Chains A and B, each alone.
Chain A
Amino acid sequence: MDILANLVLGFATAVTPENLLYCLIGTVIGTAVGVLPGLGPSTTIALLLPFTFALGPTPALIMLAGIYYGAQYGGSTTAILLNLPGEPSSAVTALDGYQMARQGRAGHALAIAAIGSFAAGTIATFVIVLFAPVLTSFALEFGPAEYFSLIVLGLIFSVALAHGSVVRALAMVVFGLVLSLVGTDVTSGEARFTFGRLELADGINFVTLSIGFFGIAEILRNLETEGRAGIVTKVIGRLMPSRQDLWRCVPPIARGTALGSILGILPGGGALLSSFASYSLEKKLSRTPGAFGKGAIEGVAGPEAANNAGAQTSFIPMLTLGLPANAVMAMMVGAMIMQGIVPGPNVATAQPALFWGLIASMWLGNLMLLVLNLPLVGLWARLMTIPYTWLFPAILTFSAIGIYSLNGNVFDLYALCIAGVLGYVLMRLGCEPAPFLLGFVLGPMLEEHLRRAMLLSFGNPAVFVTRPISAGLLLLAVAALVAIALPAVAKKREKVFVE
């Protein structure tokens, strides 16, 4: 069997001592940089890139991939413990993960994140092995019109992220879209809303906004509580989730894995959309949707699984089309090119050991993450018992260092302060940050694909409904919108009648 032979080749490549070592180094470095807010994997990989020249292509890519998913893992840890999401996808994890941590269930949240990620990673590895060629042609079917419709769907889903009013959530999505307009126009190259500041030429930084809106705003909110120097939580509680909790998380993990595996194939935001989509789906399917946003374990398990499955399958377009899903993947494409491997349809056939070895190493890396981190859960959870007086200054310091290290720009620190205060004010007004961040991340893609689709169709807007995939996605979006609007309308009518 071809598939079996591929798997055997992959594992034979991945378990050589050298490759195992680099996989371990990658995951450890990745976890470390993921845990430090702001100091993201892209900075780290850029710094490490020159050192990978000396390695062969396979260990180099294995290590870089390890940094990538290790960092995603570490990012969930800070999102859960400190409400500091350094990556767009961990913003979803922060929603319920941080609430769980505040209730003394940090151990549960961390453990389920690790277990969910591992389960998803395992399944996604097999998805890649079985379907890589099919998935590549699926990715090619996705043109600008399909992307546009997918993003519209994602934005409508994002309303479900908020647990308060639909109108406020929509307003936050729009606010995010508006702020994302700042920067250089992709199509014409002209600067927009930059007030002549070169620092704004590339737009407002996501990490700055995310850490400001979640982390800094949360600190400000905590300071309100009568100024008593308490601790975040006194009880750590059981570290491992109960059998019941685990059982409850099986369906969300399965659904999240399916969503992530499919959406991860789409470069540029696919993996990210999958974690948002998974959260919305779980909330919709849950018998207790009210618990979401207040520490629902499904709200951590599903998105974490989706995110990890998506991170895994996003290697397919990277390897076979040279299309990176994000900045980190772009650097991995660079590392491949530097090693003389031009990404393309021939990589899997011309470099089978590299291709399958990398995929096998991802599964091994996920296993390493699980083994390394489960014993650490207790240690991390203990972070929550550090008194505010120590914890908050430390968070502020690390956030500031991380933000500064992104571009070496003092401007970004001012931006962080503004984002923190703004995030706090919005939080007090009952407006939540998650829909805002999704709007902000998807805004530029929405615009880019809309304009590109219109240019390529010679200005004919019918392209969005005549292409079947695009039309299907738009129909789903309309259905979702109706589903969201109906209960709201019903409620309003009830109110009117009561009065």
Chain B
Amino acid sequence: MKTGALLALAVAAVATPAAHAWEAKKPIRVVIGYGAGGSTDAIGRLTFKKIEDQKGWRFIIENKAGAQGALAAMEIKNAPADGYTIGLLSTGNFALDPYLSKAIQYKPEDLDYIGTIGKIEYALVAAKNAPYNNLQELAAHTKKNGPVSFSSTGKILDLAMERISEKLGITFVSAPTSGSAQSVQLVLGGHANVTISGGVHVPYMQSGQLKAIALMSTGKADYAPGVKNAVDQGGGFVIDNYFLLVAPKNLPADARAALAEAIDAAVKSPEVGDYAAKTFNTRLNLGPDGSTEDVMAQSRAWREWLPNSKLAK
């Protein structure tokens, strides 16, 4: 598998110790592009706490949630490339967002990528009693009864929904919300028909209030063994979104290697693994080269597809 090869590469790069290993001599500033208490913030704080324990470095964590992460990305882009400012956002912030709005003043090439903490496992969910159980049935339902309402927590989810809908003939209207907990609540209360969520929905599936129509990430999910992902259902698209660690462009090689190594060790720790499992995401570090390649590949794919999108305009 491609990811496996990338991982091996990343591990090989990390495993060669530099002659003079870089050490953090002062606290490292971490800019998280989402609000305190969100899923990115939570897994990030845990990871950096782990690095503090393992390496003795100090981190100062700042949440800069404005403009769906764009403010944080700008801040990192403009920071000095000395290893003392890094950011935690998600792949979509770099592979997709810069092509959606002219206001976003960065491109994926403007930053260095130093690793990932995990992959966000998305699913398209609906209320238990919804008259459809998979994408084909959803398509048939909307052809007959008109569009479904879709509570959406971000542009990338809108576009993912648009891609599978286009392919299968589903019609929908998107209503943006300010967080996945809210999106899920709208579906639970019957105010919206479907939503795409990355983990928040799982307890409600276990309690029998929600069901998954399709997984929106590759692979299968333990909590919904019978549900296929959107590609296998003919939707032609799944989201590969990672908790992504970024740094200003042209980080010194030794700093980049040391940071990547510290991150890798923390991601491999049982705490981060446990946590990812409990929140139904997958722990996965693509490493510096793997992350960079993934961002670039995804950004090429989005740029090819965006001219077809009505939602992106």
User: Would A456 and B176 count as touching, CB distance under 8 A?
Assistant: no
A-binding segment of B110-118, B180-188, B251-259: B180-188
- In angstroms, Cα B178 to Cα A327, docked, is 13
The reply on B129 being an interface residue by CB < 8 A is: no
User: Would B39 and A337 count as touching, CB distance under 8 A?
Assistant: yes
**What residues on B are CB-neighbors of A46 within 8 Å?**
36, 61, 63
- In angstroms, Cα B151 to Cα A186, docked, is 13
User: Would A456 and B191 count as touching, CB distance under 8 A?
Assistant: yes
Per-position contact with B for A190-226: 1 when CB-CB < 8 Å, else 0?
1100000010011000000000000000000000000
Distance of B36 from chain A, by nearest CB (Å): 5
Is the interface on chain B under 10, 10 to 19, 20 to 34, or 35 or more residues?
35 or more
Nearest-CB residue, chain A, relative to B201: A344
Within 8 A of A (CB), among B157-191: 173-178, 181-182, 184-186, 188-191
Within 8 A of B (CB), among A409-438: none
Q: Which of B36, B103, B185, B204 contacts A190 (CB 8 A)?
A: B103
User: Would B101 and A189 count as touching, CB distance under 8 A?
Assistant: yes
B-binding segment of A138-146, A279-287, A395-403: A138-146
Q: Which of A145, A189, A322, A330 contacts B155 (CB 8 A)?
A: A189
- In angstroms, Cα B177 to Cα A340, docked, is 24
Distance of B99 from chain A, by nearest CB (Å): 14
Within 8 A of B (CB), among A310-345: 321-324, 327, 330-335, 337-338, 340, 342-345
- In angstroms, Cα B35 to Cα A337, docked, is 14
Asked, given contacts A53-B49, A189-B68, whether A332 binds B186 with beta carbons under 8 Å apart, the answer is no
The reply on A346 being an interface residue by CB < 8 A is: yes
Distance of A45 from chain B, by nearest CB (Å): 8
User: Would A455 and B174 count as touching, CB distance under 8 A?
Assistant: yes
Q: Which of A144, A191, A448 contacts B103 (CB 8 A)?
A: A191
**What residues on B are CB-neighbors of A323 within 8 Å?**
181-182, 185
**What residues on B are CB-neighbors of A335 within 8 Å?**
37
Nearest-CB residue, chain B, relative to A191: B103
Within 8 A of A (CB), among B49-96: 49, 61, 63, 65-68, 71, 74
User: Would A49 and B36 count as touching, CB distance under 8 A?
Assistant: yes
**What residues on B are CB-neighbors of A330 within 8 Å?**
35-38
Count: A-B pairs, CB below 8 Å: 128
Asked, given contacts A323-B182, A333-B181, whether A340 binds B278 with beta carbons under 8 Å apart, the answer is yes
**What residues on B are CB-neighbors of A387 within 8 Å?**
none
User: Would B45 and A338 count as touching, CB distance under 8 A?
Assistant: yes
User: Would A346 and B275 count as touching, CB distance under 8 A?
Assistant: no
Asked, given contacts A321-B185, A346-B206, A456-B186, whether A337 binds B36 with beta carbons under 8 Å apart, the answer is no
The reply on B236 being an interface residue by CB < 8 A is: no
User: Would A452 and B155 count as touching, CB distance under 8 A?
Assistant: no
User: Would A342 and B189 count as touching, CB distance under 8 A?
Assistant: no
The reply on A42 being an interface residue by CB < 8 A is: yes
The reply on B108 being an interface residue by CB < 8 A is: no
The reply on A187 being an interface residue by CB < 8 A is: yes
User: Would B175 and A333 count as touching, CB distance under 8 A?
Assistant: no
Nearest-CB residue, chain A, relative to B206: A346
The reply on B196 being an interface residue by CB < 8 A is: no
- In angstroms, Cα B27 to Cα A127, docked, is 46
**What residues on B are CB-neighbors of A50 within 8 Å?**
45, 49, 61
Q: Output the residue of B71, B175, B177, B178 with the most chain A CB within 10 A.
A: B175
The reply on B260 being an interface residue by CB < 8 A is: no
**What residues on B are CB-neighbors of A346 within 8 Å?**
203, 206-207
- In angstroms, Cα B146 to Cα A323, docked, is 30
User: Would A458 and B49 count as touching, CB distance under 8 A?
Assistant: no
Q: Which of A42, A191, A452 contacts B177 (CB 8 A)?
A: A452
Asked, given contacts A184-B67, A342-B200, whether A334 binds B36 with beta carbons under 8 Å apart, the answer is yes
- In angstroms, Cα B178 to Cα A452, docked, is 11
Per-position contact with B for A108-136: 1 when CB-CB < 8 Å, else 0?
00000000000000000000000000000
User: Would A322 and B189 count as touching, CB distance under 8 A?
Assistant: no
Per-position contact with B for A340-361: 1 when CB-CB < 8 Å, else 0?
1011111000000000000000
User: Would A327 and B67 count as touching, CB distance under 8 A?
Assistant: no
Give me 11 other A-B pairs in contact (C-beta within 8 A), A143-B189, A323-B182 excluded: A187-B176, A189-B68, A321-B185, A324-B37, A324-B181, A327-B35, A333-B181, A340-B279, A344-B207, A451-B175, A458-B147
A: residues with CB less than 8 A from B are 42, 45-46, 49-50, 53, 140-145, 184, 186-187, 189-191, 198, 201-202, 321-324, 327, 330-335, 337-338, 340, 342-346, 448, 451-452, 455-456, 458
12 contacts between A and B (CB under 8 A): A144-B175, A198-B71, A198-B74, A201-B66, A330-B35, A334-B45, A338-B42, A338-B45, A345-B204, A452-B176, A455-B174, A458-B173
The 4 closest A-B pairs by CB, nearest first: A334-B37, A344-B203, A143-B191, A455-B175
